[in-house]
Structure 1
Amino acid sequence: MTWIAALPMYNVTPALDAAWREWLGDVLRRVKPACRIVEPDEELHGFWRRPNLLISQTCGYPFVHGLHEQVQLIATPHFDAPGCEGAHYSSVLVTRAEAQFDTLAACQGARAAYNQDDSNSGMNVFRHAVAPLSRAGSFFSSVLRTGSHLGSLRAVADGRADVAAIDCVTYAFMCDELPELAGQVRPIGMTAPSPGLPLIASSTVPPATIQALREALGEALTSQPERAKRLRLQGFSVLPPSDYERIEQLESEARAAGYARLA
């Protein structure tokens, strides 16, 4: 079997993508199975389920909604970004720099943007934050699905939307890599925290290789401190899969408040 690997989640710019690929290559050189770094050639839900997947990163929402039954959790990164605490993260609620909104409550009747229906950071925690403010299952005048966090940031910046929830790690990388875009938006709050994006492997990967990957993550982190600083990586935790039930809890709380979807 030819093993494959990819980190598709935090590639805010081509230069940052190259840094992630360099770090991943360093990790893979420290484990025994030969492995190719690839660009996912299919929709990510299918890619994450491939039997020859040695390491990748997924969002916690699809992980708890079925993916956890077909993969193994390797580790969850710790990021040096406002809104992160250990292996947990929040989303930044953002509006345009010149907008009059100062709180999420002030955004009633405004236009929202979000990345994907199956995103914890862009949809699920956003829905949870809005739920207590909603009335009869509604809060915004319109909702725009953009396809990515960068798409949501650009929608807010160029006036197609008024507010969005952005993974705080993505937001930090935007500030690092895209200062012009960062200057067009501003934060107005944070969402509730939940476990961060897990590194996963196929269920076919042997336990000894999972352990080797965990050791390699730490070794690759400390071998080049400047690279780790650019990637905002501080360490890793091996969380029990049950910790990710927090994501379902946030979903259930929003539904219990009568707010089943962003609206």
Structure 2
Amino acid sequence: MIAYLGFYDMAPVRDANDAYWSEIRRHLGHGPDRMVRPDDLWPVWRAPDLLLAQTCSLPYRQHLANDVTYVGTPDFGLPGCPPGHYRSAMVVRTGEALRSGARMAINDRHSQSGWGNPIAYLTAHGITPGEVIETGAHAHSVVALAEGRADMAGIDLLSWTMFEELGLLPEGLEIVDLTPPSLGTPYITSRDRDPDPIAAAIEAAITSLPDDVRGRLHLKGFVRHGVDAYLAEPIPAPPNDAPTAPVA
């Protein structure tokens, strides 16, 4: 069986994520001793022996919903967000502004927080990005901004918050606005697996975690939105041409 909970798995909090998985496994009564931490997530999400994985809202509703089983969604208590939702921070270099023609860094074309939320925000404000640069991670996007290889980016607000807390945020960047909230990063299991015992184990684990571990991961609760709620959210058009930027 496979378990993966790696969306907010920065090196300084990996021990907290390991503790979180251990608690889920303890309450569930079975599962792998350790989570996987692969570079390529698609084989994990589609694995027939998947026990639990975190995915992103956009690939879930665009590609995965018919092939996996939705378990629920963690709540991180983000400001201005209903439970089980998140939003993106629209980020530029300090003193600059969002503008048409600006180079836009995105972590991945399949990312709701890096592409879906930001492009909806920019479109609503009449801003058309210029070159779109796919960096591979929110951490790489903020570096691309700081180094002048991109001019604006949408960054998952929880990622931004944790970068700040952990001393991982480059200097010289600022948030100019926040996108409207959207449904958060869903937890999934394989298509033929019953999600109810897994959801119950997650809820119990969040409650039983030590306060400091729960706080470091920003875990506030667990919400079961349902598949239809995700499928009701719009799917953005992909970026026309998003070259992959070299990671410095």
TM-score (norm 2): 0.89
Larger radius of gyration: 1
Equivalent residue runs for 1:27-38 within 5 Å? 27-38=24-35
Q: Deviations over 1:192-240 (max 9, x none)?
A: 22100001111132x2xx3222222122212212211111010011111
Which residue does 1:58 correspond to in 2?
A: 55
Residue 202 of structure 1 corresponds to: 190
Instruction: Give the gaps of 5 or more residues in structure 1.
Output: none
The answer as to whether partners of 1:128 and 1:250 remain within 8 angstroms in 2 is no
Residue 47 of structure 1 deviates from its aligned partner by 1.2
After TM superposition, give the deviation of residue 180 of structure 1 in Å: 4.9
**Structure 1 match to 2:6:** 8
Normalising by the residue count of structure 1, what TM-score does the alignment of the two structures yield? 0.84
Runs of 4 or more above 4 Å deviation: none
Q: Which residue matches 2:96?
A: 100
Deviation of 1:80 after TM superposition, in Å, equals 2.6
Give how far 1:246 is off.
4.1
CA distance in 2, matches of 1:59, 1:140: 23
83 and 186 in structure 1: CA distance in 2 versus 1, 3 angstrom threshold: farther
**1:121 equivalent among 113, 122, 139:** 113
| DSSP-derived class of the 1:93 partner | strand
Write the letter of the residue equivalent to 2:188: I
Superposed CA offset, 1:103-136 (max 9, x none) = x3xx22222111111111101111111224458x
* 1:167 alignment counterpart: 156
Are the aligned partners of 1:4 and 1:36 in contact in 2 as well (CA < 8 Å)?
A: no
Give yes or no for contact 1:125–1:250 (8 Å, CA) kept in 2.
no
- Residue pair 1:91, 1:190 contacting (<8 A) in 2 also: yes
User: Within 5 A, what are the aligned runs for 1:1-263?
Assistant: 3-11=1-9, 13-41=10-38, 43-97=40-94, 99-101=95-97, 104=98, 107-134=99-126, 139-178=128-167, 180-181=169-170, 183-205=171-193, 207=194, 210-223=195-208, 224-247=210-233, 249=234, 251=236, 261=239
Summarize the Cα distance change of 1:113–1:165 in structure 2 as closer, same or farther, 3 Å threshold: same
More helix by share: 1
Look up the SS of the partner of 1:69 in the other structure: coil
Structure 2 gaps, min length 5: 242-248
Give the distance between the partners of 1:63 and 1:204, measured in 2 at CA: 17
The aligned amino acid for 2:105 is A
Q: How many residues align?
A: 240
Q: Match for 2:180: what amino acid?
A: A
Between 211-220 and 63-72, the greater mean CA deviation after superposition: 211-220
For residue 33 of structure 1, report the CA deviation from its aligned partner: 2.7
Tell me how far apart the structure 2 counterparts of residues 72 and 131 of structure 1 sit (CA, whole Å): 32
Percent identical residues: 29
